[in-house]
Structure 1
Amino acid sequence: MSTRLRKVAVGMAAVGLVVVPLGAGAGYALDVSSASRAAASAPVAPGASPSGPVAADGEFPQLTPAVARQLDDAVRKVMSEAKIPGVMVSLSAPGKGEYVRAFGVADKATGQSISTNMYMRIGSVTKTFTVTALLQLVDQGKVGLDDPIGKYVSGVPNGDRITLRELAGMRSGLFNYSEDEGFFKALTSNPRRPFTPQELLAYSFKHPVLFEPNAKFSYCNTNLILLGLVVEKQTGQRLNDYINQKVARPAGLRHTLFPVGAEFPSPHSQGYTDQTATGKVEDAADWNPSWGWAAGAMISDLGDLKTWARVLATGTLLKPATQAERLNVVDALPGTGYGLGIFNVQGWIGHNGSLPGYQALVVYLPQAKATLTLTLNTDISYEGSEPSTLFGEAITKIVTPDHVFSLPAQPVTGH
């Protein structure tokens, strides 16, 4: 899923099951049928996918020089076709070796090479941190997944009936604020301005609800803004402080942060987007990501994301029963299920992320204990597909052909 705006409106191709432009999730409202609800009633084990078990350990290949050359060729092919300036890739599994590469440039103006130690904006991968924070509060008995959001935040349409579980599972029925035309104009006319959570919610709440709670799956950034406010209310801390101190640090992440403004540690890559007021490509590195807040504002690097892929999928920071709740997926697209702020695509568990100028993919294949993480410095779609998905598909076709990370392309639409 992504935190992208709605200009490109590609679905689930980016992390977040629905790789929607800035707004993440535009155009995805999927019926949750009685059959899929029944199928989702049993938790999905960490290694299961909606369409079957994941690959056994022995099926993951040794990452030999020959395999590395295949991967190099596949990555370069995607870069050439989709015109990607730069990408970083990390692929590994215990006993199989490690493939870590950086391709292309971090700055098109200077020609500076991209490198694997660079910080990148990670878009909707932020959702996995916010939902982890919420689930920690569940473990502490401070919130319940079936509590209505109205218990914590007033003024939410259907707030007496929409639960925290439905918010985390993208089944609230609330309008996605980042698809609001007024929001798009406000952001693109001054992308360096700050937004408050309350301003973001106002863009959503002026629209009628899209459907009854739990009736459909519809990827929506509004849900995460509300969950971020719940975390703040129940911890007495700002969300960025809580996530930095209680999620990122205990996970062993030393190059991951939730910024409060446009700060961007060095070294970082520039980021290129066409989600602009004119539609022309601009550098978004200094844009203020506060508009994404709990849904998409965070920053990380390739090494930390590799660690986070495993922590997230295995539930290191949560009680086993709570992690099982998180992985209890509901069908979202063919071969793809969405749980609580996490997806399962053909056995790969994790999330993708996209916001102007940047994309990320952070996934884990449990039985092989394999991690695949990648970051890139553009969010410009290619033939309706998110670049992060194109890379994920190309790489997994080589190393896990029975478990190809693939999300359907969506037609490109204008505002």
Structure 2
Amino acid sequence: TGGPVTPSTATPALTVQQVADLRSALPYVDGWLAYRRWRERVPGVQTAVWFDGGLQLSSAHGLADEEARVPLTTEHLFRIASHSKTFTATAVLQLVERGALRLDDPVGTFVPRLAEAGSPLADATVRELLEHGAGVIRDGLDGDYWQHGRPFPDEGELLDMLVDHGDKAPAGSAFNYSNLGYSLLGLVVAAASGRSYGEFVTGPIVARLGLTHTGPEWADARAAEYAAGHSGRHVSQTRVRLDHVDTRAMAAATGFYGTASDLVRYASAHFDGDERLLSEHSKRLAQREAWQSDASQPASAHYGLGFVIDRVGGHRVVGHSGGYPGHITRTLFDPSIGLAVSVLTNAVDGPATSLSSGVLRLLDLAREAAPAGLATRASSSGVDPARFTGRFAGEFGIVDVALLGENLVALHPGAPDPVEGLDRLRVTGPREVLIAQGNGFGSVGETMRYEFDDDGRVTLLRGSGGMSMRPVTELDG
């Protein structure tokens, strides 16, 4: 692969003003995350945002361990589960670039046990495994290792599972997501590289990028650094702590651990113009849409070579989610503008997907131009629009008034999508703003009136419908 490139060379798509607007929005973004964690009663949420060639936000809210009441930090390690597939795909493509294998090589070339047993999987190609198009069963006939019902399989058991009922569809016939298929790729990486899977991915990927809080498998020596996993609240309001276990032969599919800040740094190496890990050609292969997850649903996500390709707002985003017993995680990035978001949660029902999408939606709002007549930099009548911002509560809920870039807006942080149903505001005086645009079921065309104390702090807001709302300074519990 090529040598490192500077992020500024690789990702020039954001203007100086957009970068400034994105940075100015981060305090609100972090406050929104804190509120969403509290509202959803998630034990902990760790988040990172990367743009303009560097880490711009690294935050942690809540607890690493509910039972022990340990505060979560930005350095607590999370099991990032299927993020592992992106590392595995990167390793395979590095081996392709070295000439150690070809994408269209049959898997049986590297795992002879499959050919010896007469398994159809021996004829599936490396490319088909990477795309989840090899027809491999998802998790086997007994997947209770996902629920700590038994240990994850070792290499011998993995091969037995693949040989015995391991194929469920002809190779190349359909998209069938498979953890066993990616575990098989771990064996391919080991055979083609002459090193163990863990050794190979640690060298040219983890170590090369300086990811000091990332590794391919449970690290017993770092046990105290991990955030505890927690059960969901599917049938109980009380969460139970879930232990970390070694994923053994399935590390290539689900074994990795990491932090949000390490993950956005890793994502940056997959941006356009950055060849620290892969050539531009290899990245195009990895990020090309090979299969759609559900062809009957036009908006469903696509899969490339180890990466999920999805749409969030106006973005075509690349990345992966992860589900491990007790941890739900997601990282997404827009390689064309050099922006990445990672959100890690430590509960089986953690809303990492909606939180990461919400962060991106808020950042998009911050960098977009305001509608005509509503740009605060030109239409605030000499009044600082920031004086109207804050979180306000009334009997019917909570409203955030936020200044995101040049957009002064009223948002509803109780909703998973923070931008849905927003009202756009225009400053009309030192104590009032006009609800200039929004849903007609609300109070469009009416004013929101403020009262301030002698120090300029808001004491009362008469918001939509003229109802009194008061500033929220802290959350109960």
Give the TM-score taking structure 1 as reference length. Answer: 0.73
- Correspondence 1:211 to 2:169: yes
Q: In the alignment, is the contact (CA less than 8 A) between 2:331 and 2:356 conserved in 1?
A: no
Match of 1:62 in 2: 21
Q: In the alignment, is the contact (CA less than 8 A) between 1:353 and 1:360 conserved in 2?
A: yes
Distance across 2 between alignment mates of 1:309 and 1:183: 30
Query: Which shifted more, 264-273 or 137-146?
Result: 264-273
Match of 1:365 in 2: 334
Query: Which shifted more, 324-333 or 139-148?
Result: 324-333
CA shift, 1:366, in A, is 2.1
Distance across 2 between alignment mates of 1:96 and 1:237: 32
Distance 1:272 1:61, change over 3 A: farther
- Correspondence 1:392 to 2:351: no
Query: Which shifted more, 118-127 or 251-260?
Result: 251-260
Distance across 1 between alignment mates of 2:180 and 2:233: 20
Distance across 2 between alignment mates of 1:177 and 1:246: 29
CA shift, 1:64, in A, is 4.5
Distance across 2 between alignment mates of 1:322 and 1:143: 14
Distance across 2 between alignment mates of 1:113 and 1:186: 27
Distance 1:96 1:286, change over 3 A: closer
Match of 1:44 in 2: none
Distance across 1 between alignment mates of 2:26 and 2:262: 22
Match of 1:246 in 2: 204
- Correspondence 1:283 to 2:241: yes
- Correspondence 1:147 to 2:99: no
Distance across 2 between alignment mates of 1:68 and 1:186: 36
Match of 2:347 in 1: 378
Match of 1:320 in 2: 280
Match of 1:93 among 47, 51, 72: 51
Match of 1:117 in 2: 75
Match of 1:226 among 184, 188, 211: 184
Distance 1:108 1:68, change over 3 A: same
Distance 1:260 1:267, change over 3 A: closer
Aligned AA (2:247):
P
CA shift, 1:274, in A, is 4.6
Aligned AA (1:375):
L
Q: In the alignment, is the contact (CA less than 8 A) between 1:262 and 1:289 conserved in 2?
A: no
CA shift, 1:127, in A, is 1.0
Distance across 2 between alignment mates of 1:261 and 1:398: 35
Structure 1 segment 172-187 matched on structure 2, within 5 A: 172-177=134-139, 180=141, 182-184=142-144
Match of 2:388 in 1: none
Q: SS where residue 132 of structure 1 aligns?
A: helix
Match of 1:137 among 92, 95, 102: 95
Match of 1:332 in 2: 292
Aligned AA (1:320):
E
Aligned AA (1:63):
L
Q: In the alignment, is the contact (CA less than 8 A) between 2:47 and 2:260 conserved in 1?
A: yes
Distance 1:96 1:250, change over 3 A: closer
Q: In the alignment, is the contact (CA less than 8 A) between 1:256 and 1:298 conserved in 2?
A: yes
Query: Which shifted more, 228-237 or 209-218?
Result: 209-218
Match of 1:162 in 2: 124
Structure holding more strand per residue:
2
Q: What RMSD over aligned residues (CA atoms) do the two structures have, in Å?
A: 3.2
Query: Which shifted more, 262-271 or 101-110?
Result: 262-271
Q: Deviations over 1:349-368 (max 9, x none)?
A: 12121211112222221232
Give the TM-score taking structure 2 as reference length. Answer: 0.64
Q: Deviations over 1:281-312 (max 9, x none)?
A: 43224323326311011111232212101113
Distance across 2 between alignment mates of 1:97 and 1:246: 22
Q: 1 or 2 for the larger relative contact order (CA 8 Å, sep ≥6)?
A: 1
Distance across 1 between alignment mates of 2:191 and 2:333: 32
Distance 1:133 1:356, change over 3 A: same
Match of 2:227 among 261, 269, 276: 269
Gaps of 5+ in 2: 1-10, 294-298, 369-415, 418-477
Query: Which shifted more, 102-111 or 307-316?
Result: 307-316
Match of 1:235 in 2: 193
% of aligned pairs identical?
22
- Correspondence 1:79 to 2:43: no
CA shift, 1:216, in A, is 1.2
Distance 1:229 1:350, change over 3 A: same
Query: Which shifted more, 161-170 or 196-205?
Result: 196-205
Match of 1:40 in 2: none
- Correspondence 1:258 to 2:258: no
Match of 2:149 among 170, 174, 189: 189
Q: SS where residue 216 of structure 1 aligns?
A: coil
Q: In the alignment, is the contact (CA less than 8 A) between 1:327 and 1:340 conserved in 2?
A: yes
Query: Which shifted more, 364-373 or 130-139?
Result: 364-373
CA shift, 1:375, in A, is 1.5
CA shift, 1:275, in A, is 11
Distance 1:185 1:233, change over 3 A: closer
